[in-house]
Chains A and B, each alone.
Chain A
């Protein structure tokens, strides 16, 4: 049965710039990375790491001047994690699109979840869902409702490595 938890304060930093420039970014260790658009990439880090992430990425993009932008979006999006066997069953009740398959490394994708825009990291037996903070209560309630049908439990986020990247971090998806 899957578990649900919210990683409060997970660092979320958005970078904007030319496609080739973003392609050349070095993924900071201990982060998840998702390509939202050719000119936008997001890095998600452990809670409390936003400032360092911003600094790192601003440093990498400094040569671009005003042709690149780094924005701390930590407070803008929620980060809910569905973990364990059966997470797809929860997802199937709250999204009408097919999850991409992951062989192990996180796959980043975007689409509506719980009727609102979502950004997701998909791994075997784990789905991390980011949605706008203004709909946090709705998304939380919807996931709980969907999960209730498959015996899901809500638990506290792990104290260590709540975003599930391990000590070494994970490969770019």
Chain B
């Protein structure tokens, strides 16, 4: 078995990751750093650092230490030219002075053309790999899961917690980033205990273990977002146990980013779990007893441990060739580690030759997930709770956490921030973004004192590690530079999910398209070649290809439009009249069965939120329509008011169950008379009346309305009959060359009549007073929504009014949104504008300052004169629609 690596074959062994296979094959430089193109080698081997990001089968930024090596993979390194081993761009490393921290805020500003050029170069040489944009994103599966208890981390503490929670009768899910529990742990007592616990858990039917699953965020709910290969899990547990462990602190000293400098756990992992020697001669810096064990692991793998440098209290007797109490202050070498400068406790320094420096620093909590679990039912266990805890302590803490989770957890409270541990004075703070201590200190000198500001200015903590390595160090430097204001400058930076970098295709998992609402005639329209547009959540018909002919059919013959998107409500119940009187500002109680009335809907501030009609039905019920985008919102709104008022009323949303079409034009009656035996003449069925009639054999609620300004019948009937009704109307209308018409034509037709469209012509401040619809408001009613606000508003002159306007023939219709000026001063804006075919000049609606909003007044729209009109330009007396 082998992988293809930059043109050569690299053998792989069972259990190998890409990192272990490549290292075994002699690869030492895995990447070039983000900014300075410094050589970088394996460091953490736990997926936390950016050093081993490679391109695998065209996919960029794959963590080689976490990616299982599989036969046939093609792997290459990134971010170098011409190669990672001999990277010419490393010359940038000699020019730090040219690119100080925040240089992109300072350099290339003048002359103006310089920055775009510089930006192109910077983008080319910086960054991490080049993605193949020709690849279609994969369809990532999003799955919801609902365990009782979720345990994050399948180490000793996590598995102990899972067993305890399962024993308490809970269904437990355990997730872990590793390919299997303990997969990357070197042979030893820890590995043995994990294996034993995992075997027991696997036999427990109440426990589901999902390896290869990384938690990347915790949200309200709680909901834990986790990534698997080709899957995103949304896990909704009742309780969370975080046992995601801890990690060695990233120590800062000169040369700390050289290839050959490892975190001790990483070096031990390579040696103990994969059987690959990370070096020939090692210096191990052991700040913990655990690190001494790592030194033993290295020794056992054949590494010559030249020196173990111990912190006070750490016993390394018998490990390595010699032991020195002290610290490592520098890693020597140019392209790789060649030695370590060790300073003994007495102060004497010496250089120890080595090609491996394993830094076994103090263990810190991995706080990324816990900090997202604030105020959620969550508990920490193992290293996440007690960093560096012994095995028995970790197991005990896991068991206690599992038992607590089984019984119901209290909400997790983020512990108060502690003072950051001191960090080194030279070296790389952030190996993701290539930021050194000196650069952070320079930023502080420039005035960016606090960690939060430093983060933004220097980008420390904003790279692939998301602050795992460097967040505390950044705080420590801020604290060191401004000790008097430590609480302010060294506060922890804000942490947000995802805690691991994710791919855009993972972010988009489960979201494939917009939800389109369709009327039952939608497919029919598409078959007729209609174009569509969004109208709120609906896809409506814009035009059937020839707007002018659609328009002229309505004005001169007959047309039909699908208005099934209208919100349609049946309201009934003992208190329905009282309810409608409060919902609408106009009178409802005096509406006799068979009559209808136009109605505005207002919010408490008196602002118009919708409009429509109210039809009084036989038996005390009412049928109300609202605008296309209003149905769902107004259903909730009405139900809220119903509850608030405690009225006995039923609100039934019939939007989807009823189709609706509007037959409009001078021959509308002639057409319908061919399809119905019911009387629909002017006397039997006058304007602003509704009747139940049978059309084409289907019982319809027919409503006489005039939104487009012509004789019109709006038919509402069961949706199942929509297609046959549509076909029948078109067939019957052939005699008058009927045309179906879309919104484009309808918008001109209504504009000629001066009718407003809510939300196009109105905004969030529009009261009825501002649109001259005083006639639709009855302030003498005892109560309705918005009444108090309207009374107050009535005392003031509105700042602006919506007015109809027209231009002279021969002028072009100005674009909607055009500014209105008077005497050169801004005086308003155009909300609707169209060229009227029947009038021969542009017409529209515009907001104009009140003092100028007088009929006959002149305004300027886009430099052209326009005249403010009265209510309607077309058929102002309404003779046609009453025909």
Contact = CB atoms under 8 A, between A and B. Distances in A.
A115 B142 CA distance: 13
Interface in B633-666: 648, 650, 652, 654-658
Contact of A93 (B143, B517, B538, B718): B143
Contact of B572 (A40, A69, A77): A69
Interface string A27-67: 00000000000011000000000000000000000000011
A137 B510 contact: no
B146 interface: yes
B646 to A, nearest CB: 12
A133 B516 CA distance: 11
User: Is the interface on chain A under 10, 10 to 19, 20 to 34, or 35 or more residues?
Assistant: 35 or more
B146 A73 contact: no
Contact of B650 (A69, A89, A138): A69
- DSSP class of A's interface residues: helix, strand, loop or mixed? mixed
A60 to B, nearest CB: 16
Contact of A134 (B146, B517, B648): B517
Given A69-B652, A77-B656, A93 B236 contact: no
Given A14-B652, A75-B718, A134 B538 contact: yes
B657 A75 contact: yes
A44 to B, nearest CB: 14
B573 A16 contact: yes
Given A73-B654, A76-B658, A133-B656, 7 more contacts: A16-B572, A16-B573, A75-B656, A75-B657, A96-B234, A133-B520, A137-B516
B516 A76 contact: no
A77 B720 CA distance: 11
B719 interface: yes
Contacts of B719: 75-76, 133
B144 interface: yes
Contact of A98 (B146, B648, B720): B146
B574 A95 contact: no
Contacts of B510: 93
Interface string A123-147: 0000000001111111001100100
B96 interface: no
A97 to B, nearest CB: 8
B654 A138 contact: no
Contacts of B236: 96-98
Contacts of B620: 66
B513 to A, nearest CB: 8
A67 B573 contact: yes
Interface of A: 9, 14, 16, 39-40, 66-67, 69, 71-77, 89, 92-93, 95-98, 115-116, 132-138, 141-142, 145, 149
Given A77-B656, A93-B142, A135 B520 contact: no
Nearest to A40: B650
Contact of A76 (B538, B573, B656): B656
A134 B655 contact: yes
Interface string B742-782: 00000000000000000000000000000000000000000
A96 B652 CA distance: 27
B650 A134 contact: no
A98 B223 CA distance: 13
A16 B652 contact: yes
Contacts of A137: 516, 518, 522
B512 interface: yes
Nearest to A8: B720
Contact of A132 (B141, B652, B656): B656
A112 to B, nearest CB: 11
A158 to B, nearest CB: 21
A141 to B, nearest CB: 8
Interface string B711-741: 0000000111000000000000000000000
Contact of B658 (A9, A66, A75, A96): A75
A145 B619 contact: no
B76 interface: no
Given A66-B619, A66-B620, A138-B516, A95 B144 contact: yes
Contact of B143 (A92, A132, A138): A92
Interface string B781-794: 00000000000000
B570 interface: yes
Interface residues of B, number: 38
B515 interface: yes
A66 B573 contact: yes
A142 B514 CA distance: 11
Contacts of B223: 96
A133 B564 CA distance: 12
A136 B539 CA distance: 13
A134 B656 contact: yes
Contacts of B142: 93
A71 B144 contact: no
Nearest to B141: A149
Contacts of B51: none
Interface string B235-258: 010000000000000000000000
A66 B142 CA distance: 47
Nearest to A78: B656
B520 A115 contact: no
Nearest to B139: A145
Contacts of A40: 650
Contacts of B573: 16, 66-67, 69
A63 to B, nearest CB: 14
A141 B513 CA distance: 10
Contacts of B146: 98
B519 interface: yes
Given A9-B720, A39-B650, A133 B657 contact: yes
B532 to A, nearest CB: 13
A66 B656 contact: no
A69 B623 CA distance: 14
A153 B645 CA distance: 49
Contacts of A93: 141-144, 510
B657 A145 contact: no
B717 to A, nearest CB: 9
Nearest to A132: B656
Contacts of A133: 520, 656-657, 719
A2 B142 CA distance: 18
Contacts of A134: 517-519, 538, 655-656
A84 B655 CA distance: 33
Nearest to A71: B652
**5 tightest A-B contacts by CB?**
A76-B657, A75-B719, A133-B656, A16-B650, A98-B146
A96 to B, nearest CB: 5
Interface in B318-344: none
27 contacts: A16-B573, A40-B650, A66-B573, A66-B574, A66-B620, A66-B621, A67-B648, A69-B570, A69-B621, A69-B650, A69-B652, A71-B654, A73-B657, A75-B520, A75-B657, A76-B654, A76-B658, A93-B142, A93-B143, A96-B236, A97-B144, A135-B518, A137-B518, A137-B522, A138-B513, A138-B516, A145-B512
A35 to B, nearest CB: 15
Interface in B681-720: 718-720
B145 interface: yes
